[in-house]
């Protein structure tokens, strides 16, 4: 790390302008910020579209065996998927350190779904790439997003000592 880059554990920027400035001077933080924005906005957008089907008819992407397992219709199952995707996007916005790995696991499930029947192998490959990007966000978040700590009496006593 040279003088023009900030330390990964430096305090988080308080404003959007500070975040942009840090992204310009620290390429690792820039990658973290881009992935965080992407994995916040896109899952929310795709989740909302599960209710409107503007982009596509989402039920077509649901493997028949998964539709058979669901207690809901394929259309209703995709509504549940939409809610999960919206929550995942919001979770990445709040705490990417943990949520990125949840999103990666979700994408792994989507890849398995798409590989389990013919016709969507290209989409499965794309989603595999997104899964790798989510794992990358998680790894970067370990450096750029501070952990949540329990505030126990023992921890407070140790920090006071």
Task: Note the pLDDT of residue 4.
Answer: 46
Indicate whether 65 belongs to any domain.
Answer: yes
Q: How many structural domains comprise the chain?
A: 1
Task: Note the pLDDT of residue 15.
Answer: 86
Indicate whether 8 belongs to any domain.
Answer: no
109 Cβ contact list (under 8 Å, min separation 6): none
Indicate whether 104 belongs to any domain.
Answer: yes
Indicate whether 11 belongs to any domain.
Answer: no
Indicate whether 2 belongs to any domain.
Answer: no
Burial 30-65 (b: 16+ CB within 10 A, else e): bbbbebbebbbeebbebbebbeeeeeeebbebbeee
Range of the domain at 55: 16-160
Task: Note the pLDDT of residue 140.
Answer: 97
Indicate whether 4 belongs to any domain.
Answer: no
Report helix, strand or coil for 73.
coil
Q: List the pLDDT tens digit at each of the 161 positions of the chain.
A: 444 455 666 777 888 888 889 899 999 999 999 999 999 999 999 999 999 999 999 999 999 999 999 999 999 999 999 999 999 999 999 999 999 999 999 999 999 999 999 999 999 999 999 999 999 999 999 999 988 876 555 555 555 55
Indicate whether 138 belongs to any domain.
Answer: yes
Task: Note the pLDDT of residue 147.
Answer: 87
Between CA 54 and CA 31 the distance in angstroms is: 30
Phi, psi dihedrals of residue 68, rounded to the nearest 5°: -70, -30
Task: Note the pLDDT of residue 7.
Answer: 61
């Amino acid at each position: 790390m040279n003088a023009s880059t900030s330390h990964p554990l430096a305090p988080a920027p308080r404003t959007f302008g500070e975040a942009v400035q840090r992204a310009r001077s620290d390429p690792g933080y820039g990658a973290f910020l881009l992935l965080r924005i992407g994995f916040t906005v896109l899952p929310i957008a795709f989740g909302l579209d599960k209710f409107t089907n503007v982009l596509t008819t989402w039920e077509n992407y649901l493997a028949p065996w998964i539709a058979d397992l669901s207690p809901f219709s394929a259309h209703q199952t995709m509504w549940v998927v939409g809610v999960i995707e919206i929550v995942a996007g919001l979770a990445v916005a709040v705490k990417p350190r943990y949520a990125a790995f949840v999103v990666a696991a979700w994408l792994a499930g989507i890849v398995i779904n798409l590989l389990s029947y013919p016709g969507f192998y290209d989409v499965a490959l794309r989603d595999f790439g997104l899964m790798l990007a989510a794992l990358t966000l998680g790894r970067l978040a370990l450096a750029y997003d501070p952990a949540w700590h329990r505030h126990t009496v023992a921890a407070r006593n140790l920090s006071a000592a």
